[in-house]
Amino acid sequence: MRLVLVFLLLLLPVLGLAGRLFWLQLVQGDVLAQQAPSRQMPSAQSFATRRPIIDRQGEILAWDEMRVRVWAHPVYFQFPGDRDGRQRSAAEVSQRLAPVLGLSSAELEQRLLGQESGIRLLEHLSLETGEAVKALDISGIDVEIYPQRRYPQGELFANVVGFLNLERQPQAGLELSRNAQLLQGERSLWLLRSGDNAVLPVHLSMDTIQDDAMQLQLSLDTRLQRAAHTALSAAMGEWKAARGAVMVMDVHNGELLALASQPSYDPSRFWQAQPRQFREWSVEDLYEPGSTFKPINLVIALEEDLIDGNSTVQDTGSVDVGSWKIRNNQDRIHGVITMPRLLQVSSNVGMVKTMLQLPQERYWQRLHNLEIEQVPDTDLPGAAAGQLTPPQVFRSDPIYAATASFGQGIALSPLKLLQLHAALANGGWLVRPHVVRGLRNVDTMKTATHLPRRKRIFQEASTATVRSWMETATTLAQVPVARIHSYPTAGKTGTSQKARQGRYDPEAVITSFVTHLPTDDPRFVVLVVVDEPRGEETYGSTVALPVAYRVIDSMVALDNLLLPDHGAAG
């Protein structure tokens, strides 16, 4: 009897095990089979490779560099030829692996201790290092290939290109707005896990990530962008300005060749920057353009038959508009002046007397037709709509028309002013400012571009007249860029006061200079804006114009950027 009891006691665990196996295999077998892949192969990392961003010449602005991350699973450590079941120590593995990783054996051994699997040893390694690690063929050491976004131009294009955060999520610029075009498709890397949830070693091929042949090509030119950035940075430092921007645009198709702004940041170290630096202020912020808007108003005056090519105006130094007195800069009196002379001396009084001839309702409508209040049609993210005084208010008092005549009381972005001056330069067409040309196929070297959209806002004859006035004014004023390297230019400076708490602050100004070149057949418009320069004599002519001079000098020096026959003339 005692033997029977002992037998039964020994038999019970066997029966329990058999019952458990029966339950798992026959009853729950199908369910467990379906769950096994998800338990054994949880997604270790999801990522998407991104297409490169290049400039108009093919220079790389952003690209995915393939890097290597090394994992260790000490519980599976074996060397080639080891018998089954033998496990190598952390010290033994360190002796072989440390020289390849550039670490000391002692340092590497410390990293391998304390965890049986899933140790992230090193990352940001080169593919060559990854190949060297794989060549050791150490079981329990894995190589993971992943993309890391690189910005080889540093801060030069940060305001346009933007950046990815540490999770490879786009945060600003074209990286964000063109995310769909830049993505090549999301992929997942899988790591096996054992029943106790330990990470199992899986060797990943170096060709895990394959790039397609497409690149996002921009219209920007790295050479010109660098020249603009350098000139602007020098002016910012000299005048201790708050911010600045330089923009160069093709007046016929709206392509931007340069868009440099300060303050900027290094997209590879974005965490060191302030969030406000991620915004392209020349696209997203508004300002009152001041005298750089006077040529736009003169086109309107011509088309409304307020003036003609022989018109003059009496500049008395000041003019009363209702209860307000409007003065010229430094209260200067210029007497009887022609339109070119008006632009040369930047006569506020002359502009007020000219534009107040136009009924206020009609004047507002002409400003409205410039699409100032609309968000500019552009591929630059964050573009802001400008502001006009509401029509009922504009009609209520002539002071609103008077201030608008010399570019105050109107708020627009530098990008919008650039667009309006491009229309003045190209014969009256409002073109679409843009920086993206399209996706270029590396194999065929062809870029899928789109025809530029445009809308007529001025008559060709009136724009030609105002351009000739601008050229004459620039020459009379002996502006340095009037004829640089035999290229005739037409320009206008601007110095506008900034509004603070409902009043204009005479100590806070925005200086600017805009020019079209060459005047006889304009191809480009250049706009420089420097915000809140400090010091004496802070005017558009002293602060912004020298920046434009340096940029235009660089444009002339660059091959195929300006018409070569001009350079040979004179």
CATH number, residue 77: 3.90.1310.10
Q: Per the structure block, which two tokens stand in for 497? A: 């006061």
In a domain, 8, yes or no: no
Residue 372 has pLDDT above 70, yes or no: yes
Asked if 174 and 234 sit in the same domain, the reply is no
Asked if 252 and 111 sit in the same domain, the reply is no
Q: Which residues contact 295 (CB under 8 A, 6 or more apart)?
A: 343, 421, 424, 466, 469, 470, 492
Is residue 528 within 8 A of residue 513, CB to CB? The reply is yes
Residue 95 has pLDDT above 50, yes or no: yes
Asked if 243 and 186 sit in the same domain, the reply is no
Domain boundary among 183, 208, 233: 208
Asked if 196 and 231 sit in the same domain, the reply is no
Asked if 164 and 240 sit in the same domain, the reply is no
* pLDDT tier, 38 (very low <50, low <70, confident <90, very high otherwise): very low
In a domain, 12, yes or no: no
Asked if 335 and 240 sit in the same domain, the reply is yes
CATH number for position 313: 3.40.710.10
In a domain, 469, yes or no: yes
Q: Looking at residues 300-307, what average pLDDT do you find?
A: 98
Asked if 184 and 328 sit in the same domain, the reply is no
Angle separating helix axes 360-368 and 294-303, nearest 10 degrees: 120
Residue 111 structural domain = 51-81+94-208
Asked if 346 and 483 sit in the same domain, the reply is yes
Give me the number of domains the chain comprises: 2
* pLDDT tier, 75 (very low <50, low <70, confident <90, very high otherwise): very high
In a domain, 164, yes or no: yes
Q: Per the structure block, which two tokens stand in for 347? A: 């006569």
* pLDDT tier, 151 (very low <50, low <70, confident <90, very high otherwise): very high
For the ranges 61-75, 122-136, 291-305, 479-493, the lowest mean pLDDT is seen at: 479-493
pLDDT tens sequence across 425-439: 999 999 999 999 999
In a domain, 237, yes or no: yes
Distance between CA atoms of residues 23 and 27, nearest Å: 5
DSSP letters for 59-127: -EEEEEEEEEEEEE-GGG-B-TTPPTT----HHHHHHHHHHHHT--HHHHHHHHTT-SS-EEEEEEE-H
In a domain, 322, yes or no: yes
Burial class, 335, CB count within 10 angstroms (exposed 0-12 / middle 13-18 / buried 19+): exposed
Residue 566 has pLDDT above 50, yes or no: no
Distance between CA atoms of residues 146 and 124, nearest Å: 9
Asked if 124 and 231 sit in the same domain, the reply is no
In a domain, 27, yes or no: no
